[in-house]
Every structure is written in structure tokens, then in C-alpha cells.
């Protein structure tokens, strides 16, 4: 494993497990130090133990809570000295079913967590460090934001907004800050389990690569987009889908 992130520091939201933790693990393996955020302190503490306390810091809180965001950024600066990378991974999907029946309070909360919090985290990282020193932001979107996804339609709507947010911020923050996104299809995590539980083989059969994703499929691509090797890439959305988009799926 290369050490292309030696001396670099990242904040990764929603990082106690799944895709977020996978990205954090990859960054640490390549030399970075990371601040992990998520709601539950116990799960974060376990993640930090796995990464090593010299490499990782845990700050528990709700992703859309601005006081939590401020605390995480400040503690990262105090502990590690910079905020060179930001991974906006936190996402929720509390509703399943037709959008025509969607409760508006649920919709507002989903938008606040999936879109507005990504903007707010980026604003704080930019004000605290990246605006003066540069950096890279990665937003974790979804295939559901690139094409219709019945049953998770509003989740997909928020991810489509996150894709557009990525592009707008890339234009605004260049040349010193790059902003990109990844758009995974179904990845085998607890968050996505309802989409493949009890019928994984059937779901995977629709993918040309004949398997669902795993967190390491996302972390490698994410690390590339955050790395110097991607220094001429900004405002892009990298689809990570095992080919399922070629067949019309999500």
C-alpha cells in the first residue's frame, strides 16, 4: 500500500461502519489520520480501536447538527493540525414506498441530512482550513440519484441534489479545492441490507459482474479521487455499480 496520504488529515462522516469506515480504513492504510463521526460513541470507539488511536479520532453526534460539525472540525485541527480531506458519507433513508405518499417531515429530515449537511460540513472545512490551504472533498452519492429508483425515490432525489451540489461546489471552490462524488449501486452494508436480504443471488444476477459491491470497492475509488493522482479531476461523479447501470438497474 502506498503512503500517498502521509501528513494528510481527513474527516469522514458516517464512519462507524460500512462505506464510511471502509474509506477511513483505506486512507489510514495509505498514511492519513482521520476524524470519524457518527451518532453512536460506542461504535466509533470500536472503529478507532481498529484503526489505532494514533491514527484516528472519534467525535459522536448527528451529521446535520451544526454544533457537532463545529466540534468535529475544531477537534480535528487541535488533534491533527489540518483538515485536508472531507468525506461526506452520512445518509439516511427512513421511508420506503411511493413518493406520492411521502410524509413531508420525513422528506425534510432526509434532505437536511443527505444534502444540507454535506454543504454545511464543506463550508466549515473550507472556512477552517481548505480555503487557505486547499484540499479535496468527496461526496458519497448513489446510483439512485442518477436514474429512477422506485421505492427509494426521495432518497434518490436527495442524492441527485448531492450530485448537483458536487458540481456547483467544484466550480466555486477551484482551483485549490477539488470536489467529486462516487455513486455506488447496492453495496453489502447494514444500511442497504433491505435491498438484498434473503435474495442476494437474485439481485446480483442483474449485475454484469454477478456480485454486489463491498465497502472496499468504494474505498479504493474514493481514495483515488481524494489523492494527488486525481489532481486534474473535479466536479465528476464516478459510478461504482458492477455494470448494473448498463442494464437499466440501480
Give the tens place of pLDDT for each residue, 175-222. 999 999 999 998 988 777 777 677 888 888 889 999 898 999 999 999
Whole-number pLDDT of residue 250: 75
Task: Tally Cβ neighbours within 10 Å of residue 7.
Answer: 12
Whole-number pLDDT of residue 190: 78
pLDDT per residue as tens digits for the range 133-181: 999 999 999 999 999 999 999 999 999 999 999 999 999 999 999 999 9
C-alpha grid cell for residue 11? 474527516
Whole-number pLDDT of residue 246: 92
Alpha-carbon span 135 to 32, nearest angstrom: 13
**Is 206 a member of any domain?**
yes
Alpha-carbon span 168 to 154, nearest angstrom: 21
Whole-number pLDDT of residue 185: 93
- 96, 155, 196, 207: the active-site residue: 155
Alpha-carbon span 20 to 14, nearest angstrom: 6
Q: Using an 8 Å Cβ cutoff, are 169 and 222 in contact?
A: no
Element (H, E) at 27: helix 18-29
Taking 80 as the threshold, does the pLDDT of residue 59 lie above it?
A: yes
C-alpha grid cell for residue 42? 460506542
Number of domains in the chain: 1
> What average pLDDT is seen over the chain?
95
Who contacts 205 (Cβ-Cβ below 8 Å, separation ≥6)?
A: none
Local confidence band at 118 (pLDDT 50, 70, 90 cut-offs): very high
Whole-number pLDDT of residue 127: 98
Who contacts 74 (Cβ-Cβ below 8 Å, separation ≥6)?
A: 128
**Is 250 a member of any domain?**
no
Q: Identify any residues that bridge with 88 across adjacent strands, giving them in sequence order.
A: 139
- pLDDT above 70: percentage of residues in the chain: 99
DSSP letter for 94, please: -
Whole-number pLDDT of residue 155: 96
Taking 90 as the threshold, does the pLDDT of residue 56 lie above it?
A: yes
**Is 15 a member of any domain?**
yes
C-alpha grid cell for residue 240? 461504482
Alpha-carbon span 123 to 190, nearest angstrom: 29
Give pTM, 2 decimals. 0.95
C-alpha 144, offset from chain centre: 14
Per DSSP bridges, beta strands 177-184 and 135-140 are parallel
- Is 207 known to be catalytic? no
CATH number where 60 lies: 3.40.50.720
**Is 13 a member of any domain?**
yes
Mean pLDDT of 119-129: 98
**Is 4 a member of any domain?**
no
Whole-number pLDDT of residue 196: 67
Query: Would you state the torsion angle of the CA atoms of residues 90, 54, 214, 2, taken in this order, to the nearest 10 degrees?
Result: 120
pLDDT per residue as tens digits for the range 11-51: 999 999 999 999 999 999 999 999 999 999 999 999 999 99
Structural domain of residue 63, as residue ranges?
A: 9-242
Taking 80 as the threshold, does the pLDDT of residue 91 lie above it?
A: yes
**Is 247 a member of any domain?**
no
C-alpha grid cell for residue 54? 494514533
**Is 31 a member of any domain?**
yes
**Is 249 a member of any domain?**
no
**Residue 242 φ then ψ, to 5°:** 60, 15
Amino acid at each position: 500500500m502506498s503512503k500517498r496520504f502521509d501528513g494528510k488529515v481527513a474527516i469522514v462522516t458516517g464512519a462507524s461502519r460500512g462505506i464510511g469506515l471502509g474509506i477511513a480504513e483505506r486512507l489510514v492504510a495509505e498514511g492519513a489520520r482521520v476524524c470519524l463521526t457518527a451518532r453512536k460513541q460506542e461504535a466509533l470507539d470500536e472503529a478507532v480501536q481498529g484503526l489505532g488511536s494514533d491514527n484516528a479520532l472519534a467525535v459522536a453526534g448527528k451529521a446535520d447538527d451544526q454544533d457537532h460539525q463545529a466540534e468535529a472540525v475544531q477537534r480535528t485541527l487541535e488533534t491533527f493540525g489540518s483538515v485536508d480531506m472531507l468525506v461526506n458519507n452520512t445518509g439516511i433513508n427512513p421511508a420506503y414506498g411511493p413518493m406520492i405518499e411521502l410524509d413531508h417531515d420525513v422528506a425534510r429530515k432526509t434532505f437536511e441530512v443527505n444534502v444540507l449537511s454535506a454543504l454545511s460540513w464543506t463550508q466549515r472545512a473550507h472556512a477552517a482550513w481548505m480555503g487557505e490551504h486547499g484540499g479535496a472533498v468527496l461526496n458519497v452519492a448513489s446510483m439512485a440519484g442518477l436514474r429512477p429508483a422506485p421505492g427509494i425515490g426521495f432518497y434518490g432525489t436527495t442524492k441527485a441534489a448531492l450530485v448537483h451540489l458536487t458540481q456547483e461546489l467544484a466550480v466555486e471552490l477551484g482551483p485549490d479545492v477539488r470536489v467529486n462524488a462516487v455513486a455506488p449501486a447496492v453495496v453489502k452494508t447494514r444500511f442497504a441490507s433491505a435491498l438484498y436480504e434473503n435474495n442476494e443471488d437474485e439481485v446480483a444476477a442483474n449485475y454484469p459482474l454477478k456480485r454486489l459491491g463491498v465497502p472496499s470497492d468504494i474505498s479504493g475509488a474514493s481514495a483515488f479521487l481524494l489523492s494527488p493522482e486525481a489532481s486534474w479531476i473535479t466536479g465528476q461523479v464516478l459510478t461504482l455499480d458492477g455494470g448494473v447501470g448498463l442494464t437499466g438497474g440501480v
